[in-house]
Amino acid sequence: MKPWKRFAVCCTAVAALTVSAAASSVPAASVPSPAHGAKRAQDAAPLPKTPDGIPENVKLELAKTGRVLVNQAAKHIMPKITAKAVTPGGKGGYVACYTAVDVADIRTEVFSAADPGKYLGSIRYVEYRYECPGTSEAEALRASCRVVQARQINELVRYEDGKWHY
C-alpha cells in the first residue's frame, strides 16, 4: 500500500474513533427537548461542537435520519425479494430479478452551509440488483440468485430549523 493511502486510512480511523468517543460522552439530558418548552435550536445555548465546527447533535440526528431513510427505501423498493419481476431470458429461459438495499452499511457526512445553523447532509448506501435464471417462470422464481449490479446511492438532505429535511 502506498504511504499516502496508509496515512489516509489511519487518519480516517482516528477521526472515526474520536467522533464515536465524543458521541458516547455527550449525555442525552444535555439536548433540549421541545416537550419541556425548550427554546428553538437557534435561540438555545451553544451545543458541543466537533473539531470541524459542526454541533454533535446535528451529526447524531443525521445518523438517525439516515437509518430511517434507508430502511424506508429497503421497505418500499420494487421489485423486491418477495415480489420478483420475471422476464424472458436471452436463450429461451426466464430471469427473475429484484433489488435489495444494504441497511447495515449506511454512511453519513455533514457539511456546513453558507448560512449559520444550516447544514447539508450526505447519506450513502448500496443497492444490489439480483438475477435468478430458470427454464420456466416458476423455476426462475425458485432459483438461486446472484448479484449482477451494485449501485452506490448518495442522498442529499438539508438541515434547517433544527431538523433534517428530505
Please list the pLDDT of the chain residue by residue as tens digits (166 residues).
Answer: 444 344 444 444 434 433 333 444 433 333 333 343 334 444 444 545 566 788 999 999 999 999 999 999 999 999 999 999 999 988 889 999 999 999 999 999 999 988 888 999 999 999 999 999 999 999 999 999 999 999 999 999 999 988 999 8
In sequence order, which ranges of 101-159 are alpha helices (DSSP H)? 137-142
Q: Report which of 50, 80, 70 is spatially closest to residue 157, judged by C-alpha positions.
A: 70
pTM summary value: 0.66
3-class state of residue 73 by DSSP: helix
